[in-house]
Structure 1
Amino acid sequence: MAEPRARRDLHPGAWWVWALGLAVAATRTYDVLLLGLVIGVASLVVLARRPVAPWAMSFRLYLGLGALVIVIRVLFGVVFGASSTGTVILDLPEVPLPSWADGVRVLGPITSDTLQRSFAAGLQLAALIICVGAANSLANPRRLLKSLPAALYEVGAAVVVAMTLFPQLAESVGRVRRARRLRGDASRNVRALRSIVIPVMEDALDRSMQLAASMDARGYGRKGAADPRTSRLTGALLVGGLLGVCVGAYATADLTAPRILAAPMLAAGFAVAGIGFWLSGRKVGQTRYRPDPWRGWEWFTALCGVAVAVTFFLDFALSPVTLTGLVVAALPALLTPEPTSPYAALRSAAATRTAAGMAA
């Protein structure tokens, strides 16, 4: 009988590259079926490769947040997106507005086109949220912070709080619900919701701040000495590069903008910001204790995410090309090693003690 594949936790950066590739694919289409398949692929990989850890339970919160986003987007479409095209489903009276609000409509006839566009836009945003949630559920946030490049160490505390707040939120929800059950409080009304939300938010933020403080006490985010001229140059490069990225991204989305402000500005912004990050990282002296390896399976997982993004750039409609990209994106659920179990060491220690006892 063949030996089972050894369990191993993949590098958290590989899962983030995979999830961001899936998110890029979601931004390329408004096809409801394709967006549903993107969400399905993300859910499949999370269910297959999610480790046994409290922070990995946050994926259901992202699913709920995605559903809420869809509902809100449809409501906004009904209230502000009335259209005269398509089959009228509900004929609501239009609210008269003053002349300075020309072009804005409130209520009015609700058509099938309005609902379809609103649902597709909400589903796209929900897919982006769920892809980020998949990365947070698959990648250990603390190991990811340990693997961040040196250029981000200057904003270490902010990065720690931002990256760990939502995973800590999922853990806090479970802890508060268990405490309420132990006290015999099983109510589910609005007052019970208020008694859950405030302790959960406070506990999640406190735990994230404690992690940031502990990492700061260990020197995370500290930088070496640098002359003022270098610091000003680094800041100018970072701000200028990020502004160039913003202008390039807007021009890419707006087809009426000059094309010189699209891809060329985007590439120039990334290049300038990259130089700024490189100069910023040179000021940080760091050591790595037991760094996470980046091996073949990490390359495979990251390339699966890149592949699905490339296929959606080639064709953003339902076609064999996009379906092939989604199949490739789902391969990590079947081929990558399973994550390590926190109970494996306990079982191994128990087996060792049992064998020692039998030998004695």
Structure 2
Amino acid sequence: MSAGADASHPIPPPIPHPAPRPRLAHGTGAGPSVRPRPLAAPRAHRSNALHPGAWWLWALGLGTAASRTTNPLLLALLVGVAGYVVAARRTSAPWARSYGAFVKLGLAVIGIRLVFAVLLGSPIPGTHVLVTLPEVPLPAWAQGVRIGGRVTVEGLVFALYDGLKLAALLICVGAANALASPARLLKSLPGALYEAGVAVVVAMTFAPNLIADVRRLRAARRLRGRPDKGLRGLVQVGLPVLEGALERSVALAAAMDARGYGRTAEVPAVVRRTGAALTLGGLVGVCAGTYGLLTADGARYGLPVLLAGVAASLGGLWVGGRRSVRTRYRPDVWGVRAWLVAASGAAVAAVMILAGSHDPAALAPGVVPLAAPALPLWPAAGVLLGLLPAFVAPAPPLAETPSKEAS
């Protein structure tokens, strides 16, 4: 190349590369390069999803705590804990939307209990009479039962406390239904309980699927400008819902038949009889031990008999599981987070049981004389332990399709 060419076409200077951005130190700011905190719960995916049994143990712990008290403040705190965990950790699957239905069912239970207290009376004597209803005369053999009569404030408050107790139990069960996948729960059952587990899981998923079908059909009718409320809407929505339930049942039966459901391995008769005897004896031991723990006279033998019954039941399930020839694809792992979730529910139940043995009046406030219930501090602090799953359980994915979760 000549010198004139070099003068007319000068070589452009090199473009300087931008200096590398300094990496932010851990915890100093937000940005794509900042790593998540080690204690923060990760996003849930197939490999780190929480075991469904942990959710049920947590919910059963809360339900046990609710069954030990009639204090409305503690029951409201238990319901709030369950609702917060469900709001923080439930997915967008169809069965995860059933929690609202259980809350409405609990409110209906409270209303029915109050109606019964008004119409049928209450065994609690009271002096603050609200209204006196016409009383229906009953024969002598129905002594102790009345229809109508005086309605007192004490009787209504007692009925409200009982209704809140049952409503809290239903809401705890609804929390487990909204958080634990029924399909994964069925896969995690022992082989000896697989047949019974199928019936239980189908019964548990009927209500969530029914609610999802009703919502879908009502939304479709609203888009078409058709009524979705009242008796006419109920009749026109009920038939498609029943048809969909029948189609799902037929599809489930076909899928189970195609996968060889019901086939068992050939085992000796001694093994079958041993498994049946251990399971039956273990269940009897569990019932006897539980009765001993609930009574004052059987406190000495209650715990040993209960432990022996649980051990015999587990042995019977292990022996009975040898008849099952099914395999498991990628079974769920019971990890550290599952232990923490289950332990939080057990801690809530244990704190409530200990509080009932030391200060039973705080867990069962009286209504005669009528007084405002007080909030016991350390039982309330124990109930707050149930919030642990909202921080340690894997968080639901940000963009999640219901079809993937349901499958």
Q: What TM-score do the two structures reach when normalised by structure 2?
A: 0.75
CA distance in 2, matches of 1:239, 1:81: 42
1:147 and 2:179 aligned:
no
Work out whether 1:108 is the aligned partner of 2:144: no
Provide closer, same or farther for how the CA distance between residues 74 and 252 of structure 1 changes in structure 2, counting only shifts above 3 A.
Answer: farther
Cα drift, residue 265 of structure 1: 5.5
Q: 1:124 to 1:197 in 2, by over 3 A?
A: farther
- Matching residue of 1:20: 60
Q: Give the counterpart letter for 2:146 in structure 1.
A: R
Q: Does 1:242 align with 2:283?
A: yes
1:207 aligns with 2:267: no
Please tell me whether the aligned partners of residues 12 and 144 of structure 1 are also in contact (alpha carbons under 8 angstroms). yes
Letter in 1 for 2:73: L
Partner residue in 2 for 1:224: 265
Per the alignment, do residues 221 and 153 of structure 1 end up closer, same or farther by CA in structure 2, a change over 3 Å counting?
Answer: farther
Amino acid at match of 1:47: A
Please state how far the C-alpha of 1:22 moved relative to its aligned partner. Answer: 0.7
- Pair 267,69 (structure 1): closer, same or farther in 2 beyond 3 Å: farther
Report if the CA contact (8 A) 1:244-1:265 is conserved. Answer: yes
Unaligned segments of structure 1, at least 5 residues: 345-360
The amino acid that maps onto 1:6 is P
- 1:39 counterpart (79, 89, 93): 79
Q: 1:110-259 to 2 correspondence within 5 Å?
A: 110-204=151-245, 206-207=247-248, 210-211=251-252, 213-246=254-287, 249=290, 255=295
Contact 1:52 1:341 in 2 (8 A): no
Q: Which structure has the larger Rg? A: 2
Identical-pair percentage: 49
Instruction: Give distance in 2, aligned partners of 1:211 and 1:92.
Output: 53
Distance verdict in 2 for CA 1:92–1:343, change over 3 Å: closer
CA deviation string 1:270-310 (max 9, x = no partner): 44433332322222233221112222211111111111111
Partner deviation per Cα, 1:198-217 (whole Å, 9 max, x = no partner): 54355346435633552353
Q: Is 2:68 aligned against 1:11? A: no
| Equivalent runs, 1:225-304 vs 2, <5 Å | 225-246=266-287, 249=290, 255=295, 266-304=306-344
Judge which range, 90-99 or 108-117, deviates more: 90-99
Number of the residue aligned with 1:350: none
TM-score between both structures, scaled by the size of structure 1: 0.84
> Cα gap change, 1:132/1:201 in structure 2, threshold over 3 Å: closer, same or farther?
farther
Once the two structures are TM-superposed, the CA of residue 258 in structure 1 deviates from its matched residue by 5.9
Paired residue total: 343
* Contact 1:153 1:222 survives alignment (8 Å): no
1:45 and 1:332 in contact (8 A); partners too:
yes
Cα deviation, residue 269, structure 1: 4.3
- The runs of 4+ residues in structure 1 deviating greater than 6 Å are none
Q: Matched residues in 2 for 1:276 and 1:202: separation?
A: 40
More helix as a share of residues = 1
SS of 1:315 mapped into structure 2: helix
Gapped regions of structure 2 (runs ≥ 5): 1-29, 357-362, 364-374, 402-407
The reply to whether residue 332 of structure 1 matches residue 389 of structure 2 is: yes
Change over 3 Å in CA distance of 1:322–1:91 after alignment to 2: same
